[in-house]
Amino acid sequence: MKLAIFDLDETLIAGDSASLWLEFMVRRKLAHADILVQEKNLMSAYYQGRMDMSAYMTLTLAPIRHWQPQDLTPLVDEFVLQDILPIVYPEARARLNWHQAQGHRVVIISATGEHLVKPIARALGVEHAIGIMLECCEGSYSGRTRGVYSYQEGKLTRLQDWLQKQQLTPSLSYAYSDSLNDLPLLQYADQAAVVNGDSHLRLIAQQRGWELLDWQH
């Protein structure tokens, strides 16, 4: 079995799905506009590899606290259709299609909540997706997370747990990401590709012989 691992934000799509979701919620008057300022401040640390993921998830999950998953689903589907599918990189679609045509197992893994990652993956025709797991209490989202964050080294931990549960052992693995935060995942793969990487990540890619991809929307 050959495995193709894709990051989501700024790799498959020209944007950040969690940030875009908050903007969508504000537009729908389901979140206060102040949340966008707070989220932007936290995101600035993400690009430096030092985000407080716990604080970020607490902030960004607040608008869906007490929502039942089945009630949120139509809203997420609308968001994916309006805000996500139009910004998918054409080259990303082509690469996904290529891996699927080769019979490779494709998985999208993201440091975004699973309530967004899984529906986005389905909309892209990808069956398998890993996101930050959300806690439910008495059938409703609690606003808290559970388990290991699929972030930095946690992405590799969650991937290995998923492979074990699926009873899969890849004979060859590919990984695609734009982010320095995904170095553990890129280093794990047999064939790594950096998508629209910054100068630091591009330098690492050149030193290690990784593929450099420049995808345009």
Cα–Cα distance between 113 and 173 in angstroms, integer? Answer: 24
Structure tokens at 212: 């450099």
Establish whether 9 is a catalytic residue.
yes
Q: What are phi and psi of 109, to 5 degrees?
A: -130, 130
Cα–Cα distance between 41 and 51 in angstroms, integer? Answer: 10
Q: Which of 9, 16, 178, 182 is catalytic?
A: 9
Q: Which of 7, 16, 178, 182 is catalytic?
A: 7
SS (H, E, C) 74-141: HHHHHHHHHHHHHHECHHHHHHHHHHHHCCCEEEEEEEEEHHHHHHHHHHCCCCEEEEEEEEEECCEE
| SS percent in the chain: helix, strand, coil, step 5 | 50, 20, 25
Establish whether 214 is a catalytic residue.
no
Residue keyed to tokens 């989220």: 39
Catalytic residues: 7, 9
